[in-house]
Chains A and B, each alone.
Chain A
Amino acid sequence: MKTSTRIVAALALGFGFSTVQAEQPVLKVCTAENEMPYSNKNGEGFENKLAQYVAEQLGRKLETVSWTDPRYFIRDYLDKGLCDVVMGVDAGDPRLLTTAPYYRSGYVFISREKDGLDLQNWDSPALKQAQRIAFAPGSPAETMLRAIGRYNDMFNYQQELAGFKSKRNQYVKYDNDKLVNEVASGKAEIAILWGPAAARYVKTSATPLTMTVIPDNAKRADGEKVGLHYSTSIGVRKNDSALLGQLNKIIKDGQDNIEALLEAEGIPLLDQPETAVSMN
């Protein structure tokens, strides 16, 4: 009898919190410690705001779990149960379950308004003439700069942008605000970035900048399509379809609110293609 009493006491102590939490359970969202403009530990990113919105809609308390290395956060955080939700992944990312897309955007050309560059597509002469083009390595922008023969010209500049850090044995970060600022400050004529990653800095730039969404018709030299428009979803662990369902409902019901939030950020929003439905 004594033993069981002790157990009951332990339960009461240990689960005291969880009784309270049961009333307002926690939504554990993985966000970056510093991957702006998506998220940071001060909650200043647009995905921080989205996470807050989603938590409120679910009636849960938001708890953010922050990671530092974007290469491994799904494997080392979401898959290990340190969090249950990641806010921004490509729709259909095979590493997790993804919701219906909550927005679609594209890669953009960014230039100074006063330069009046005619940047419509990859055959624009301005791309051939630019001394410096800022972009993130490993992105479709890199693939296309290779295709138009400008990658090698930009290689040294690209190393400089990351402080000459080798991509061997480390994650080398390219700050989006820095890449945009290269254009604003006149160091580079053009930046080619994922629109949502650049939007905030384009919007707040003291030097007026032009941002043009690149049409999604690019091909590599071998004819294979290079995707430039992507749909973004919320991701959960592969076995967490219950949570997925709840999130899908929020995305459907709160579409206007979510769009307002993204538009405030300045993100260029594109219509979802007819075929784009939840991959799950």
Chain B
Amino acid sequence: MQISRFAKQVSTTALVTAAALAVSSSAQANKELEQLAKQNTNWVMQTKDYGSTHFSEMIDINANNVKNLKVAWSFSTGVLNGHEGGPLVVDGIMYVHTPYPNNVFAISLDEPDKILWQFKPKQNPAARAVACCDVVNRGLAYAPAGKDYPATIFLNQLDGHVVAINAKTGEVLWKMENSDIAMGSTLTVAPFVVKDKVIVGTSGAELGVRGYATAYNIKDGKQAWRVYATGPDEDIKLSKDFNSANPHYGQFGLGLKTWEGDAWKIGGGTNWGWYAYDSDLEMLYYGSGNPAPWNETMRPGDNKWTMTIWGRDVNTGEAKFGYQKTPHDEWDYAGVNYMGLSEQMVDGKMTKLLTHPDRNGLVYTLNRENGSLVNAFKIDDTVNWVKKVDLKTGLPIRDPEYSTHMDHQATGICPSAMGYHNQGIESYDPNKKLFFMGTNHICMDWEPFMLPYRAGQFFVGATLNMYPGPKGTLGQVKAMNAVTGKMEWEVQEKFAVWGGTTATAGDLVFYGTLDGYIKARHSKTGEELWKFKLPSGVIGHPITYKHNNKQYVAIYYGVGGWPGVGLVFDLADPTAGLGAVGAFKELAHYTQMGGGVMVFAWERGNEST
């Protein structure tokens, strides 16, 4: 039903995803947020819109004039660690967040030289020690005023608390504990507002946290539902017809059966990446991450439902489908990242799709109504742990040479534990039917060790060395057709493109680089049209908005995160930072720490075209 209704809309209009979906959204949906997302004056969620297109229809800044972009204003956050995510812009206010200590600043776009309000939470500093890879935060969420709550900004604190803040005044409305740092659980994920709920994930799979996603009521923070990645079906919340379209993905009882004993209790599968939502289907999409502990010999089995793409009913949390991409992960390919929604022709039928470039180096495209695999292909031909995905069974065909078993020393595994695609939010241009992806190009050696000590004790661990992939650089940017698997263009970047991309109808794709450039490329050809060197490297994403009829582009600078962990903690041992320090040892020669937001605009009359 929904497909045919949708197809009709598309045939009569060439509107973008968000516009088309809004027409058919239910009366209950947080319509206002969806409306705000469509307005060029706003950037109301980290993903830009529910479909996570990160695409703006604005053309004021375009391929012809982007070279004239100049700095309009800037703002230092006063925090030096890695700045992931991006600012939000709503109703003429920019909301800026920082990594730990997770400060929030509201800045009026009319008067950007003044801070409207600021929120500096007091939180348990012990959280810093628990976070694995720098003390990042992936951003804020916004909920427009409802009948029983004011316009609200949501902040996830590293110490595991979710805070609701009055968007106009900066006052705390409520605060809930979502994760207990004493259990190794932190919060780095950006909250995601859907209907009357705010969705929050978890971090800390490395430390044996059993991952869950939770929906809280916007008005009072009361828990609406919580769903786990492992354990009994009722904890995972499987619907009665779970995976009925694809029973070969596995259906019931597997959250227990695919683990030895009760190892599912410490099984990981956290979600600290990005969400997407289809307001027509009322379904929420996200990925659960790696199983724990990292040492695969300690957890025989498929370890379901870690490494899974979920499609859940947002009202109840119930899963309609779950597709496990990497059964029994051996490489830390946490599959939490970007979920991009699009509507494209598949076998002659307009189909609702979900595209997910995974950390394991494969790009998966699913029918997002029932989870059926449409396509799964390598993000780069240098991916070698897997030969291909069998589309009939959904299983990856592995190459045992690149396994990390205890009795095997694997060298040249591609991708590295960092994945070919990590936490960046990518963009989708619905006119060109292209996804633009910033990627890593990093491989690794994985040397497991089990060394005797005394009195029967062993030291069990692994040493990872990471280094540039076969193409010689650490990053790539690619324009991809998700249905055909064809790369329209690809360019090399010296360092990983960690933060993701933003595309516009002005034939542009923007992104930041680890060494501190914001760049604009022609989205048809990949040609570099403009770049500007920022005060520090970038691990967040660009945004674009209109204010007083002028288009702006904004981006956080502030190197750090996993790739910049060596800079942040001043590490020299190449295997430190879970192996990241060696891979990015060059980075210190290009950029240093420093956090803030920089805003660019094109000055009219300044054009030379």
Contact = CB atoms under 8 A, between A and B. Distances in A.
Nearest to B576: A169
B459 A138 contact: yes
Contacts of B266: 152, 155-156
B578 interface: yes
Contacts of B458: 138-139
Interface in B425-469: 449, 451-464
Contacts, number: 107
A168 B462 contact: yes
B452 A137 contact: no
A71 B129 contact: no
Contact of A152 (B261, B449, B457): B261
Contact of B208 (A90, A159, A194, A227): A159
A167 B460 contact: yes
Contacts of A171: 459, 461
Contacts of B206: 166
B575 interface: yes
Interface residues of B, number: 38
A64 interface: no
A166 B208 contact: no
A194 B455 contact: yes
B129 A168 contact: no
Q: Which of B129, B265, B452 is packed against the most chain A CB atoms within 10 Å? A: B452
A164 B454 contact: no
Contacts of B182: 156, 160
B262 interface: yes
Given A149-B261, A159-B208, A169-B464, A140 B457 contact: yes
Nearest to A174: B457
B208 A93 contact: no
Contacts of B383: none
A232 B464 CA distance: 33
Contacts of A46: none
Nearest to A139: B457
Nearest to A228: B456
Contacts of A153: 265
Contacts of B577: 169
B130 interface: yes
A71 B449 contact: yes
A156 B460 contact: no
B211 interface: no
A140 B184 contact: no
Nearest to B448: A168
B443 to A, nearest CB: 16
A67 interface: no
B358 to A, nearest CB: 21
Contact of B456 (A146, A156, A167, A230): A230
A197 B207 CA distance: 26
B454 A232 contact: yes
Contacts of A156: 182-184, 207-209, 266
Residue from the set B182, B207, B462 with the largest chain A CB neighbour count within 10 Å: B207
Interface of A: 70-72, 88-90, 93, 95, 105, 107, 136-140, 146, 149, 152-153, 155-156, 159-160, 163-164, 166-172, 194, 196-197, 226-228, 230, 232
State the 9 A-B residue pairs at the shortest beta-carbon distance, nearest first: A167-B461, A139-B457, A138-B458, A155-B266, A155-B208, A194-B455, A169-B575, A156-B183, A230-B455
Given A168-B294, A228-B456, 14 more contacts: A70-B459, A90-B452, A95-B452, A138-B453, A140-B457, A149-B262, A156-B209, A168-B578, A169-B579, A170-B461, A170-B575, A171-B459, A227-B456, A232-B454
24 contacts: A70-B453, A70-B459, A136-B457, A139-B458, A140-B456, A152-B263, A152-B266, A155-B293, A159-B207, A164-B129, A164-B130, A164-B207, A166-B206, A167-B460, A168-B461, A168-B462, A168-B463, A168-B578, A168-B579, A169-B462, A169-B463, A169-B579, A197-B455, A232-B455
